[in-house]
Amino acid sequence: MNVLMPVADGSEEMEIVIVVDILRRVPWDVMIAGLGARAIRASRGVRLVPDVAWADVTPEAFDMLVIPGGWDGVTALAKDERLLATVRTFMANGKWVAAICAGPLVLQAAGVLKGRRVTCHPGVAGELTQTPRLNDRVVVDGRLITSQAPGTAFEFALELIRAVEGDRKADELAKSMVVR
């Protein structure tokens, strides 16, 4: 599984690092793509170095798109027309699309949430206008998976694995990390 995670200044570091770490344990190939060609300053000031600049990515080469939250990061990602086109293409082609925290607002900016079952951070629920927000910690709607916040990042990552690889692999990883 080839996974693409776009990030920007202000993206939520826990949602980046926890999710990427767990997915790489599968092992899946996960590429972090920064909107700029430099390190980002995440939402709590942690500096993270993306694997590649977003401009140098070929999104078609990936099977899954994972969008982290963090208000400023989501605001920047939601303004990137190439990313919005990528979201629409992934959804239209039945590829995996996942978003956590405020990340579903990027999906909304791409216009793909109407009639879908999603969740997001309670603090941005009022911004979600294309579909009602569910209160579940993680919501799976076909190949669209959403989650609420940094505190649900482990569950979110494990659900991505469960959806693609099945219960056994997800449970094995959860046990090895003493998540359950």
Q: Exactly one of 3, 100, 101, 109 is catalytic; which is it? A: 101
Instruction: Assess whether 101 carries a catalytic annotation.
Output: yes
CB 34, CB 7: distance < 8 Å: yes
Positions annotated as catalytic residues are 101
